[in-house]
Structure 1
Amino acid sequence: MQFETCPPITSDDGGNDTANDLILHRTPVEYRHTVAELEDEVNRVMIEGCKVDACLDLFLFRVLCYIPEAEKSARFGQWRYYFTTAIDMVPDEKRNNLTMELQKNLNRLLPGYLGDGVDDILTHAKIKDRLQNRWQMMKKDGRDVEDEGKDKISKSLVDILMEKQYNQRAGLAEAPSSNDQASFVESCRKLRSLIEDERASASFSCGGTIHITSSTHTGTEKKDLTSSPPVSIFWNKGYDAAAHKLVLPTDISLPGASPETLQQLVSDCDPASFGRGEQDVIDPEYRRAGKLNADQFATSFHPADFGILDNVGQVLLQSISTETDNQLQFRRIKAELYKLNVYSGPSGLFRKHVDTPRAANQIGSLVVCLPSKFTGGSLSVEHHGQKVNFDWSEKSNTVIQWAAFYSDCEHEIETITSGNRITLTYNLYVTEPIGGVIPSPTATVDPRTLSMYGWMRNLLIDEEFMKEGGVLGFFCSHAYAHSSKLAHAQLPRGLKGADLVLYSVLKSLGVDVDILPILESNGHYGKGNAALEITGKPQQHRQSYMDRYDWDRGELCGYLEHGGKALDLAYTEVLPNPRRLNEYEDIDRCWKLLMMARKVKGMEDALQGARANGLPVNEESFYKSPGVQVGISRHPYQTHDEGYEADLDEVVQDVWPAYYLPGITWITEPKHEEMAFSQIAYGNEASIGTRYSCAALLAVIPPSAQRCGILRQG
């Protein structure tokens, strides 16, 4: 086969160009191997190497456990780095048992690998250097990861992708027919359409009105939740100052209901600030208002007394519960008084902004407009291109008016032209009632009544849909503080809108689903999928990301061009470490896990170069769709002092433990990025580089043989 080959690709901007992007100097060459033969050889070498390393890892884990604690302390600087020192510290009897176990395991997984007449397996040519390399990679900090329940990624999620990639690389997977593939793509598109429709139609705000009445409640009659007595506000401007009382509206005959007292409140307010980055800023051109903090005033108005929180919960945070084993927690909303604000005419305003969440489980804000005459000052709330306008001026002196909206909504208060717009602002939090889960008969909404439920159930009943199982990935429609220290408390409890509906429907169908962070690579979250029109890039793409690109194509291109020489593959291993004991002991699972976690350096570039030179490439190749790094938990943001010259995958394992998971079928695009971690980056001057993550729902779809019978009976 004579084709043209290309020299190594270089660029001046960090190496992001590919063979298809450049005009290359090409010289004719006689290829010795096809791309299919290259992939077969890579898979053979990888399978053999992972089987060997799985045996070695178990052996080394036991060595670590058998080193006496006194010896560890006395020779700390030696045994941690040199395997030969460590093994000499193990008692002879245990050492002999360990070497016999190692040889037995290798002979079982790789018959004939060691050859005949092995005297000392630890000095064997195929084992000696590899032992030292694996020992250096092994984390030996003594951390008991068995007790870290929060750092456990779903075993079913890992295993189903692990088996899927093994079958692909071992040639055991059955290639889908063109009709099956077309049907699968159409189902995925329909699913995305349902999610987008749910997202577009989901309410992101709600509001209402409470009338003012002069009647008082005796406690014997049923309270009218639609009306309220006049509202009292109490405040002072210091510990020694006399307290003031204002009653609203001011045109009624009650003590404290006077325009003069209202003006006293206005003058006693401090200038209101707003957040800009990590600072509180006072800028009258952006926000002109007065404020009292929650510890400076009290009020007779409480939103829970009028059913406002129940209404907000019904609209913004549907309480969905099921009777399955994995039923969703019952949610309620708690309101915490945050501030009193006064916007006065003719210039009070607050330009477009997004509120800063005060805690990980905060889901939104509630604004209550008290009865005080004003004109102008409409509140507009925007979310995903939709806009709701709350114009409270017309009834401002006669009723209490309120609005609630999600934390990630952009909103604005237009200019007050006259009067005083007085509002109480509450932060809204997700809580759980004492006693845990509320039985499903009391739930507000049952997932089985949602339109998505029936369609999703029918899809999973279809035996041809993901026949061998797999994982569907959905990037969250809403922004959540998934890289905060309180992310475990927030998610999944704080899910909202389309995310909540999707999560609840999947849970009700018995699907194992979790919310985990996905780490970007050069600003991409996965390779994308042209058939599904998925790019893997957020719509609001940042101007720059930390570059990561592996140049190691000489070995692979050399095999294609020259053949003969056995491949000595370079790879990065993205796998949480230290791992749990059962992962070491289950060697058959462990070697497949290692193979999934290893990214072959230069493979993607070798395929691009081969295609550019006319060499046939399998478009369904496993290597055509590299995986993503999935955090084992919702990591809090961290900084790291490792330099930019360090391999980014190594830095990830130190500060952001993750699995490398190929084979996820992404249904939606990434939307909301958060800072995952930062590290030192070197250029003309040292600076801080940051990598980002997006939260995603990952749903484990069992093989059809396991799921269809159960769903038909349900």
Structure 2
Amino acid sequence: MPQPSISRSSSPSDGLPFRTSQDFEIEKTNRNNSPSSARRRTTMPMPQVDNDLAYRSAVSTMLAASTRLSTISGLIPMDSSQLVLFFRTKSGITHSLDFPIDVDFNTPPALDVLIAACRPHQTSAFNDYSDHESLFFPPNFPLTTSLEIANLPILDAIRNTLFPRLPQGHYLTVTRDKLEVVVKGGRMDPQPLRSDGRVATIAVTLPVRFHGGKFVIRDALGHEEVYFGRGGKDGDMEWLAFTPDCDYRVETVTKGCRLTMLYGVYLRTFGPTGVTEPLINPSDKFLDLLSHVLNMSKGQRIGIYLANEYAVNPSEILAETLVPMLKGGDNVIYHAIKLYELVPELHWTAGGYIWPVDRTVEITEQGQQSSPGLGLAGLSLLDPPHRRSRGSASPAVRGAFAYNGSARAGSVSGSVYSDSDEGIVDTVTFRVKQSGAIPLAETDIIILNDYNNPNAPIGKERVPFVVGGELDKLVVKTLIVISP
């Protein structure tokens, strides 16, 4: 893979997947609520790669995949030997099926009874009633398992990932749908979209040994994700969820028998309403996309903006505090990075400045300057973690703002202030520096963006501050920084 090197070009129109400059974005609360961008621009480093088109295409594809989530998967932390399937056939006899099952070693009689009671899918490519059809257990026959989906945090994982903007007061419920069976030599053709009001479908691969039988999900745009039904090392079972605009199929089972339990997920409300191990696993395809970008960025520190907003105040909490709250594509990217044994860091950033991982955005009025120990030249994001501890940087000094320096369009002295954007940017710049932030241009961080979608969503948080008796809000973004 080509290895990018840093270039100091600052032209924003070259089409590379990097943001070359930044402006302070300030929301004027009491001035017609019109956001303004301060005009002091800061140049940021850009890499020079052997194949710019390939690099920016790889970045664009990876970022687009993170915002196009329609499916997600994970493992159920349950010993498969504790799972039992109960069902009743047309004869009225109730049977129980214990797991795990290896049909090549010993086929339980109850499994033969279950298969015999199944019906073929109407979409089956086979016209006869042979053992090579894809089957489903009749939904009018009693069927249940000792696995209770509602008692597991799977619905929370689905809400957090597939529906990150679901308003408060909306809840996800789950109902058993059907059991699908594909025996050796059989496959399942694409199943039609469901129109029963569901917002997602959950598929749980039951612990029956099989080979082949890949579960392929295709979204409305034709993008496909492939799942293999692999369980965990402790007998954990794979689950996956996908939105109703997707269809799915099962490729040929070459050995054994594949049993899949499907559940419908529905949206319910009570009326008109407006860091531990993750519960999800990024798909193999997304990991390949991320791996391609990481290989092409070898030797560089790269940054990716969070796409969602989390309604926090960056002046009160560290950016790292957002890790348990991450949702949507932010969650997928963060945990995918960790699977490569890299250490992603979350940083606050605004107007071409970035705060160290252990600093908050403290831009309230200050009565005195920070101590000399917090010189900007001495604060580097490249320092090792033990040098970036809280003890290595002086905290921002609180009190009344009394800086008597001059500004291009106004001056600040106590509460006297000339209402001007240029005056605001000087005031904000001074406070930002005093809070410990350093210019992004002085770091080696390369910020990636989707050149195919320049208006891609970027999450924004707000920090309120007062200038001249007026309450404004500084817009702050969150950056995932990945070190080589």
Structure ID, larger Rg = 1
TM-score range, shorter chain: 0.3 to 0.5
TM-score by length of 1: 0.28
**Larger strand proportion of the pair:** 2
- Name the structure where helix makes up a greater proportion of residues: 1
TM-score normalised to structure 2 length:
0.40
